[in-house]
A and B are shown apart, each in its own frame.
Chain A
Amino acid sequence: MIPTRHFFAEHKGTIVALITAIVFFAIYVLNHPVGLTAGVATTAANKGVLLALVAMAQTLPVLTAGLDLSVGMVFVLSNCLASALVVGSPLETAAGLVAVLFAGIFCGLLNGIIIVYGRLQPIITTLATGAIYYGLALSLRPVPGGDVNPAVADALTGQLPFGIPASLAVIIAVVVLIWLPYRRSVLGRAAYAVGSSETAAFMSGVPINRAKLLAYALSGLLAAIAGLMLTFITYSGEASAAIGGTYTLNSIAAVVIGGTSLFGGSGSAVGSIFGAFVLRTIGDLLFVFDLEPFWQPLVQGVILLAAVSLGAFRLLRMRNRLEVFS
């Protein structure tokens, strides 16, 4: 199918994020002392893939006009679980993998159940469940440690033929096997509908509750996949509140940079991947430009602010002041 103007209109946010990511990465590679080698690419991919997955997980609730502040804690919990379960014989490892993924789904589903049937606000619900998931992670790993099946870990974080980073393949697999089918499913579209206008969705007979439940459950699953990848990269589990918090907040930033509206209804998890890579590359850029490391948080913060402030340009086009309230 030839892309039409409607295609561009629908995916504008994703395309802008993609271009930004490419530009940033190009600047990074061009200024890198070694240039683009398989090693450089793999390191960059491994660094980016974690936030990319967590940002994808954040995208799903945001599309329903919700938010998941527990996403970083599910990520940490899965990391701790994986460092205990994804070990041993191939069979045990496989069983461990499945168990971690199901734990993630369960966490997400629990969020969804409380939000849908308990009728609580997503922000405050996930704030509280986040504490629960972190507590569970901490009880599993009071001190950092554990292990992971090294064969699986190396396979998923190393290089594929032609020097392609394996973690990139993981992301692509997640997009193809989870995101794209979800996007084209009835409940996936229902999630967009709910985020676009919950009242109109209700009037149209959209299955609102099931759409939200699935969005939060899949969010948990994606966060669990991210937790697995973290384990494969670090070979251990760590219940760190700082990691959980940082990833949660950065995931929101990545979602916004990726072109998804925080008000719900429009955007894409693919955009969030690019958003995550943009955020990550900013950090690396400072490194290649020989900036002292303690400049990094400030520059990252300023760029994040600048990126979100671009949204203010819509005010210049506005002819009716009441529009700002909608």
Chain B
Amino acid sequence: MIAKMPAIARRFDPAVAAAFGCIIALLLLGSLYSRSFLSPEYLLQQLQVASFLGLVATGMMIVILLGHIDLSVPWVITAGAMMSTAAAEWGYGEILAIPFGILCGAAFGLINGVGVAYLRIPSMIFTLGINAVAQGLMVLRTGGFAPQDHATQFMHFIATGRSLFGIPNALLVWLAVGAAAVFLLSRTSFGRSVYAIGNSELAAYLSGADTRRTLLLAFTLCGALAGFAGVLLAGYSAKAYQAMGDPYLLPAIAAVVLGGTNILGGRGTYLGTVAGVVLITLLQSILSVMQIPESGRQIIYGIVIIAMLLLYGRQRIPGK
């Protein structure tokens, strides 16, 4: 059956199409409520907000493609935010604050990678432990209070400023990271290994691939991107605060899965993840604009995810 489809039709991923369909449906639905939902200003604003989630989801997607998961994202984001603002305070100045935040995220990611690739601990539990450690380190540093450090002007500019025809800088960052991710996944041997490991780590290993190095690199990337998201979030709100990464874990996973990436690894396109991120962001925004209370938003949010997955995310029954 699959073999008989023309090459173009095979590339056409129903999940990605469905996700984009849902985005359009959401916008139309929103425009019934208020015209402003279709205005470029509103859309750009949404894409700016989506960029933060987009960075996190990019790293998460690579890890999920491997058949793993990174639950350390919340506090790695927070660590990225706190360490970049701290670096600014220590006088490393405008330039070094951002790379320092990213580097801290990458360091946590690296430890995740060591645990998963070399110690072979299930990623679900090892990254959970790293999340706790990251939290512990941040609480230790701040004494559990909101740190007094402030984001640098440059961080603020990247997170909230606009340049180039009024396109938000954060969106430009996401575009750059996204383009790099697409290139990495489709054109490099690293990308091939990611998909290969996600489909069958055994076959990848027996093909002579360095599976451990790929895992290590993927987790490091995921950590670095979470750290970067933290830096931008700190820039966005001008400072870092406790647990600021918590609201990003579940939406990141949901965005990746809604975009058609198999939660067990091996299959998924970056375009799908983009669709998932935009979809989640729009959904959250429309629900809040419609002044639906938080409780209703959560319920609708959950129902929409389940409904969409029932529509196209079902797995085959074993044995039949």
Contact = CB atoms under 8 A, between A and B. Distances in A.
A and B touch in the complex (CB under 8 A): yes
Interface of A: 67, 114, 118-121, 123-125, 127-132, 134-139, 142, 198-199, 202-203, 239, 241-242, 245, 249, 252-253, 256, 262-263, 293-302, 304-305, 308-309, 311-312, 315, 321-322, 324-325
Given A256-B125, A295-B140, A305 B253 contact: no
A298 B302 contact: no
B306 A128 contact: yes
A193 B143 CA distance: 47
Nearest to B126: A308
Interface of B: 69, 71, 115, 119-122, 124-126, 128-137, 139-140, 143-144, 201-202, 205-206, 243, 246, 250, 253-254, 257, 263-264, 293-303, 305-306, 309-310, 313-319
B136 A131 contact: no
Main SS at interface, chain B: helix
A280 B282 CA distance: 40
A119 B315 contact: yes
Contact of B295 (A124, A142, A321): A142
Contacts of A325: 201-202, 205
A138 B294 contact: yes
Given A119-B315, A127-B254, A132-B299, A249 B306 contact: no
The 5 closest A-B pairs by CB, nearest first: A298-B136, A301-B132, A135-B298, A135-B299, A131-B302
Given A123-B263, A199-B318, 10 more contacts: A127-B254, A130-B250, A132-B298, A135-B296, A242-B246, A252-B128, A296-B136, A298-B137, A304-B128, A311-B120
Chain A interface helix/strand/loop/mixed: helix
B314 A120 contact: yes
24 contacts: A114-B310, A120-B310, A121-B263, A121-B264, A121-B315, A123-B253, A124-B305, A124-B313, A132-B298, A134-B298, A135-B297, A135-B298, A142-B295, A199-B318, A203-B319, A245-B246, A252-B124, A298-B139, A300-B132, A301-B132, A302-B133, A312-B120, A322-B206, A325-B205
Contacts of B115: 305, 309
A294 B139 contact: yes
Contacts of B132: 297, 300-301, 304-305
A252 B69 CA distance: 14
